[in-house]
A = this chain, B = another copy of it.
Amino acid sequence: MTGMDVNTWRGVHDEVLRRIRERVWKPGELIPVEAELAETFGCARNTVNRALRALADSGVLERKRKSGTRVALHPVGKAVIEVPLIRREIEGQGKRYGYSLLDSGVRPATPEAAFALGLARDCELMQVRAIHLGDGAPEIFEDRWINLAAAPGAATVDFTLVSANAWLLENVPVSRGEMSISAVHCPMAEVSLLGADFTTPHLAVQRVTWNGEAPVTCVRLLYRKDHRILSQF
Q: Which residues of B contact A181 (CB under 8 A)?
A: 181, 203, 228-231
Q: Is the CB of B203 within 8 A of A183?
A: yes
Please, which residue of chain B has its CB at the minimum distance from the CB of A59? B82
A88 within 8 A of B: yes
A213 within 8 A of B: no
CB within 8 Å for A77 and B202 given contacts A170-B27, A184-B183, A233-B83: no
Give the residues from 57 to 78 in chain A that come closer than 8 angstroms, CB to CB, to chain B: 74-78
Give the A interface residue count (CB, 8 A): 42
Task: Return A224 CB to nearest CB of chain B, in Å.
Answer: 11
A176 within 8 A of B: yes
CB within 8 Å for A185 and B173 given contacts A78-B81, A82-B78, A83-B76: no
Q: Is the CB of A231 within 8 A of B178?
A: yes
Identical chains in the assembly: 2
Please, which residue of chain B has its CB at the minimum distance from the CB of A198? B199
A79-B84 Cα distance, complex, nearest whole Å? 10
Q: Is the CB of B183 within 8 A of A232?
A: no
A120 within 8 A of B: no
Instruction: Given contacts A79-B177, A79-B179, A180-B231, list 9 more A-B pairs with CB under 8 A.
Output: A76-B84, A77-B82, A79-B80, A79-B81, A79-B82, A80-B81, A181-B181, A181-B228, A182-B229
A107 within 8 A of B: no
Q: Which residues of B contact A226 (CB under 8 A)?
A: 182
Q: Which residues of B contact A180 (CB under 8 A)?
A: 228-231
